[in-house]
Amino acid sequence: MTVSWFRPPTRGQSGAAAVAALLFALISYNLYFCCQIKQRELEERQTELLRLQSEISLTEFTNSQLKAQVAHLSTDAGAEEVAREKLGLVKYGEVSFVVLGGENLSQPPVKPAVPVEAPRPGLVMRFMHWFLLG
């Protein structure tokens, strides 16, 4: 008497197994693409977050420059500098010379560039990609 662990499926059982396999495949397919869409949204939000963080740091840098300029202009030396350069005033006994055709050499402050890195795929997406695509 031979004992077999595997019995051939009956007619009704093979159809149920095929339906279960098809249902599992559809659920896996939907789960993969739902995760892929969510991962893409997450990557877009991470990129936006990096862009906003770099914009914040640039704005903070500009703000610190403006605070330093306000602090300088609130001193006597800063007020004198503005009076001489912008208003063309001179102290008593000084002689002022005006150069005609001279270019204005003052330039706006240079803003530092902050690099933005692209986010790497998350652990779930790497696993799903490895598991389903090989």
Residues contacting 122, CB < 8 A, separation 6+: 39, 42
Q: Would you say residue 35 lies in a domain?
A: yes
**Residue type, position 54, single letter:** S
Domain count, the chain: 1
Distance, in Å, from the CA atom of 20 to the CA atom of 28, rounded to the nearest integer, reads 12
Q: What is the DSSP letter of 122?
A: P
Q: Would you say residue 1 lies in a domain?
A: no
Q: Would you say residue 14 lies in a domain?
A: no
Q: What is the mean pLDDT of the chain?
A: 79
- Which whole number is the average pLDDT over 69-73? 90
Q: Would you say residue 16 lies in a domain?
A: no
Name the more confident of 29 and 8.
29
Q: Would you say residue 47 lies in a domain?
A: yes
Hey, CA dihedral for 98, 104, 108, 112, is it positive or negative? negative
What is the longest distance spanned by two Cα atoms in the chain? 127
Q: What is the DSSP letter of 121?
A: P
Q: Is pTM, for the whole model, over 0.75? A: no
Q: Would you say residue 65 lies in a domain?
A: yes
Measure Cα distances from 130 to 14, 30, 87, 105, 119 in Å.
30, 16, 70, 59, 19
Q: Would you say residue 51 lies in a domain?
A: yes
Compute how many other C-beta atoms are within 10 angstroms of the C-beta atom of residue 57. Answer: 12
Residue pLDDT, tens place only, 15-68: 777 788 889 888 888 888 888 888 899 999 999 999 999 999 999 999 999 999
pLDDT at residue 1 tops 80: no
**Structural domain boundaries, residue 57:** 23-89+120-134
Q: Would you say residue 79 lies in a domain?
A: yes
Predicted confidence at residue 4, as pLDDT, reads 60
Give the three-class secondary structure for 88: coil
